[in-house]
Each structure stands twice: as structure tokens, then as C-alpha cells.
């Protein structure tokens, strides 16, 4: 008999198939759904219907299903920092913080307390042994690798995982494309086979959006938009909602070439815009640098958004120096460092 596995089941097709494949492999599987966001949700993975879908898939698979209420932990470590980041003019990654503090800290701790050494999720990523590095304790070094389906790859949002978490983690669908996942779900008759993918931020509704969510939790400051010469060219409703590189929603007068946000000054509620060429820099300051195992100076392939393009860089003290000039990264954005499609570590744009 294979060892028991606790599977995080969100109510979507990916985690449903992850649980199903582990059952087929002979594991004793227990499904767990996390109750995180207690407010309105119409675009994420925290609705009552999602919990019901997970429960009913577990029934189809003949496995136990439980619900863990981590709502208070989620508010403290994900929602409140999200609001604080905007108030400070930073662009946060709430899904990364949810993975860091909830799914791969609180859940793993609970799983081990209940006797489960293995935890599985439905992320499109892989656990890759690094044969080039020797571990101090004799255990093989593991890294997060990209999923086979590059369009769905979620290695970016798992970059913060260290060796202790990786040794007990299973990612059963990382070798499958999304269509192959759905084909497995159809083969097994799972109710989630045709269920659409959830959106990124479960607590931001499609109807209200980020502005409505933040307006109820912090003061939003109207701001003016100026060009590089200091001339007023427009205004914004909330300077806290503006992001470096943004083009739309600036209410900037005049035609001509497109203009992008190149600087944000919260103190004076001023947004500076300019041509796209003004966004490019040779180096990007970073903070909160962490590694999946040992530090390295690179070179790295760097990804600065969940499904964005990549660029080459090397580490120089508290900066990344780009191989070619790179567009400025919004402060607060995670920057994930890869080598041969494996996560080496990550940092946050300062």
C-alpha cells in the first residue's frame, strides 16, 4: 500500500484529477478544501459551490473529505498585506502569499500533525531532483520545475517553497496538459470535467473589481498625471491603484504616441508618464531574496509575472543586472529566478 496523501481540493478540475490519479496509484487519499475568504466571491475558488464540488468529487472517488477553516489566517497573511501594499504604492501578489502562508505553511503543518507526510495539490508544475547539488543531510535536493503545459505553468507562484516543503509535496498533474487533465476527468466522469478555471484573486469580485474592494478598506487618493517635463496631462481617481508600466485608465489628454506610467509619487499624489522607452533600465533593485536551496549569482532566466515573458539577468548584490535593458518592474512584484526551467529562488522588486 502506498503512503497516505492529503490532497488540497479547491473544487476545480486540476485538484480533482490530482486526487483521482493518486487514488488510481493506490494511495490512501484524504481530500481537504480550505475555507479562506468569507466575503463575496464571484471569480475565485472560495465559493460555497466550490466546496460542494470538491465534496462531491471526493464522494465519486470514494475518499474522505474535510473542510479546514483558515479564514482568520488568510485575512491576516493575505488580505491585510494586500491592502497595506496598495496603501504603500506597491503591487502585491496575493496568490503567492496565499501559497506561502496558507497552503504550504498552515496546511502542511496541519497535515503533518494529523500524520500525513505527503501533501498534494493540483498545480501545473513539477518536482525535479537536482542531481548537480549534494544535500548536507543526504536527502536529494528538489526544485520546482515548469509544468508541461507552458500556458498553464504555475511554477512562478510556487517559487518560495524550500526543501522541507518540497520533500513532502506531490504535484500529480504537472506532466499533463490542461486538455489531458480534462480528458482524465471525462474518463472518470468527474463533475468538474468542464468547469472553467478560476480567476487569480478570489476576494476581488468581477463586478466590483480592485477599486471597490480597496475603497472599503483604505483611503484612495485622487492624483494628477504629468509628463516628463512636469506638465499636467491628466488625472487618476486613485494613485494607489496605479502600476508602473500602466497605459490605460490615466485620463491623459492629447494624442500622439502611447504613454506609460514611469513613476508614482504617493506623497504628492503624482503619476509621471512617458514613452515606453523611458521604462527600460539596466538594473532592478530587489529585496526579500530567497533560495530553494543554495544561493547563486546566475545567470538566471527571470520571470516577473505569472505568465509573462522572461529575460536573462545576473545577481549583483541587491540588484538584478539585465543582459539587455528591461522594462521596470513594479515595486512589490515577485521576480522568480530559473535555470534550465527549474526554480532557483525568487525576490521582490524594491
pLDDT at 346: 97
DSSP secondary-structure letter at 187?
H
**pLDDT at res. 40:** 65
What is the spatial distance between Cα 150 and Cα 147, in angstroms, rounded to a whole number?
Answer: 6
The residue among 278, 266, 277, 262 whose CA lies nearest residue 330 is 262
Three-class DSSP category at 45: coil
The residue extents of the domains of the chain are 2-122+172-188, 222-274, 280-349
CATH fit for domain 222-274, picks 1.20.120, 3.30.460, 2.40.50, 2.30.30: 2.30.30
Query: 334-339 and 232-236 as β-strands: parallel, antiparallel, unpaired?
Result: unpaired
Element of type H or E holding 348: strand 342-349
The sign of the CA dihedral 48, 50, 55, 57 is positive
Closest CA to 261 of 249, 275, 278, 244: 244
2-122+172-188: CATH class: alpha beta
- At 257 the pLDDT is 81
Task: Give the number of other CB atoms < 10 A from CB of residue 96.
Answer: 21
Is pTM beyond 0.85? Reply is: yes
**Residues with Cβ within 8 Å of residue 338, at least 6 apart in sequence:** 146, 155, 300, 301, 302, 303, 310, 344
Around Cβ 16, how many Cβ atoms within 10 Å? 32
pLDDT by 10-residue block (mean), the chain, 350 residues = 91 97 97 87 65 96 97 96 96 95 95 96 94 72 96 96 93 98 97 85 85 94 94 93 90 76 96 95 97 92 94 96 97 96 97
What is the reported pLDDT for 138? 72
* Rounded Cα gap, residues 24 and 30, in angstroms: 13
Residues assigned a catalytic role: 98, 202
Q: Which fold has domain 280-349?
A: Elongation Factor Tu (Ef-tu); domain 3 (2.40.30)
Task: Report which of 331, 36, 23, 59 is spatially closest to residue 198, judged by C-alpha positions.
Answer: 36
What pLDDT was estimated at residue 173?
Answer: 98
Of 280, 294, 278, 292, which Cα lies nearest the Cα of 322?
A: 280
CA dihedral 293, 297, 299, 301 (to 10 degrees): 50
> CA-CA distance, 44 to 206, in Å (whole number)?
9
Amino acid at each position: 500500500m502506498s503512503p497516505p496523501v492529503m490532497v488540497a481540493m479547491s473544487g476545480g478540475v486540476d485538484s480533482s484529477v490530482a486526487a483521482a490519479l493518486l487514488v488510481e496509484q493506490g494511495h490512501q487519499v484524504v481530500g481537504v478544501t480550505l475555507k479562506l475568504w468569507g466575503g463575496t466571491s464571484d471569480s475565485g475558488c472560495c465559493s460555497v459551490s466550490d466546496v460542494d464540488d470538491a465534496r462531491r468529487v471526493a464522494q465519486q472517488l470514494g475518499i474522505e473529505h474535510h473542510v479546514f477553516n483558515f479564514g482568520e489566517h488568510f485575512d491576516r497573511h493575505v488580505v491585510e498585506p494586500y491592502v497595506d501594499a496598495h496603501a504603500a504604492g506597491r503591487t502585491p501578489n496575493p496568490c503567492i502569499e496565499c501559497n506561502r502562508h496558507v497552503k504550504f505553511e498552515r496546511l502542511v503543518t496541519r497535515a503533518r500533525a494529523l500524520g500525513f507526510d505527503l501533501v498534494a495539490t493540483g498545480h501545473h508544475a513539477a518536482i525535479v531532483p537536482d542531481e548537480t547539488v549534494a544535500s548536507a543531510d543526504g536527502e536529494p535536493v528538489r526544485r520546482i520545475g515548469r509544468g508541461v503545459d507552458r500556458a498553464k505553468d504555475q511554477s512562478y507562484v510556487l517559487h518560495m517553497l524550500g526543501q522541507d516543503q518540497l520533500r513532502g509535496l506531490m504535484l500529480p498533474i504537472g506532466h499533463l496538459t490542461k486538455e489531458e487533465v480534462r480528458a482524465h476527468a471525462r474518463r472518470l466522469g468527474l463533475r468538474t470535467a468542464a468547469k472553467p478555471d478560476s480567476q487569480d484573486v478570489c476576494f476581488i469580485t468581477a463586478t466590483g473589481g480592485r477599486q471597490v474592494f480597496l475603497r472599503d478598506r483604505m483611503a484612495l487618493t485622487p492624483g494628477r498625471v504629468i509628463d516628463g517635463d512636469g506638465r499636467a496631462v491628466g488625472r487618476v481617481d486613485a494613485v494607489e491603484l496605479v502600476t508602473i508600466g500602466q497605459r490605460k485608465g490615466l485620463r491623459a489628454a492629447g494624442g500622439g504616441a502611447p504613454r506609460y506610467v514611469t513613476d508614482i509619487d504617493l506623497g504628492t499624489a503624482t503619476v509621471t508618464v512617458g514613452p515606453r522607452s523611458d521604462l527600460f533600465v539596466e538594473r532592478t533593485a530587489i529585496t526579500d531574496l530567497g533560495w530553494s536551496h543554495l544561493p547563486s549569482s546566475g545567470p538566471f532566466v527571470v520571470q516577473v509575472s505569472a505568465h509573462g515573458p522572461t529575460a536573462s539577468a545576473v545577481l549583483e548584490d541587491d540588484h538584478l543586472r539585465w543582459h539587455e535593458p528591461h522594462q521596470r518592474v513594479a515595486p512589490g512584484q515577485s521576480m522568480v529566478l530559473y535555470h534550465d526551467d527549474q526554480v532557483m529562488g525568487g525576490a521582490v522588486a524594491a
